[in-house]
Amino acid sequence: MDTLLEVLRSVRLTGGVFLSAHFTAPWCISVAMTPEDCAPFLKKPAQVISYHVITEGKLIVSIEGGPMIEVSAGEIVLFPQNEPHTLANEVGVKSIRARDLIQKSPEGGLLRIEHGGGGPTTRIVCGFLASEENFNPLISALPKILKIDTRYGASREWIEASVRFAAGELADGQLASSSVLIRLSELLFTEAIRQYSSTLGEDEVGWLKGLKDPHVGRALALIHHKPGEPWSVETLAGEVALSRSAFVERFTSLVGMSPIRYLTLWRLQTAKVNLRERTKTIAQLAHSVGYESEEAFSRAFKREFGIAPARWRGQG
């Protein structure tokens, strides 16, 4: 079992590409992406990851209080907490708000920026990943800024081909296939998690550290893949070949909460998203995420989110 892929399948992320930018040195822009920028793709994103694919040239990226990072063609920089950030060709150039430079496509397609002083060129494609889920362990486990290199990794060839395809379509004034761009966004996120998790030290803790552990990672995959199963500490421990006490200690120390607390959060978060789809009654949904009765589910839901499930569904 590929634990990371198993968990990714259960985390609902929508991806999109919304802007193509062409800069010539000197240039510097400040970027602050808002949930409204995702509106054509997702109505109410609770969490947004913005990213930039550098297709030509290079740039320096920074966030407040963080280091400056150089990013070159073939690399991608992601902002898992959607931090406002600055992009520039070099240090010391006065910044301009990116929003003030955006040009709308006459056909209503991709947004564009053309800006700079006429020097060396940098081209980037800007996109996002978004989720309606407030409890998203994948996103919360990542740092504020993350650079990945698409020239390496398991998905390298597909990512490179997709970036070239999208860049070529955009250069011709066309909007690339949405299915390709969404798949590209998902692969970029998967690759970002793989590359970042490989850098974690032995003494570090957190959700990704738990995912890498063969026992805890297996338990996380089971919880995400089958939240409606009648899991208990004992059954999860048996599935991952650990004693009850060893499993609880290992899971809690790595993930930061007990297995049952994590299971409860994931069940309720899964239900919260599915409530908006209206394909099941509340009673059916309660059963699908492991609750024996609608009443027990409603109590747990209101205790966690401060609102009854029926009322939450009515607000969608």
Q: List, for residues 6-53, the tens digit of each pLDDT value.
A: 666 666 667 666 788 999 999 999 999 877 776 666 666 777 888 898
Return the SS3 of 228: coil
80, pLDDT greater than 80: yes
> Do 223 and 8 meet the contact criterion of CB atoms below 8 Å apart?
no
Task: Give Cα separations from 27 to 3, 74, 234 (angstroms).
Answer: 42, 20, 59
- Average pLDDT for residues 232-252, to the nearest whole number? 96
| Local structure of 96: helix, strand or coil | strand
Q: Which homologous superfamily does the CATH classification assign to the domain defined by 3-197?
A: Jelly Rolls (2.60.120.10)
Q: Where are the domains of the chain?
A: 3-197, 207-314
Confidence of residue 134 (pLDDT cuts 50, 70, 90): low
Let me know: does 208 contact 255? Beta carbons within 8 Å.
no
Rg (CA), the chain: 21
CB under 8 A, 24+ apart: contacts of 35-43: 35/130, 37/128, 38/14, 38/128, 38/130, 40/16, 41/14, 41/15, 41/16, 41/128, 41/130, 42/14, 42/130, 42/132
Instruction: Name the superfamily (CATH) of residues 207-314.
Output: Homeodomain-like (1.10.10.60)
Residue 95 has pLDDT above 60, yes or no: yes
**For residue range 99-121, what is the model confidence (pLDDT) as tens digits?**
999 988 666 566 789 999 999 99
192 touches 52 (CB < 8 A): no
Range name among 125-129, 153-157, 194-198, 307-311 with the lowest pLDDT average: 153-157
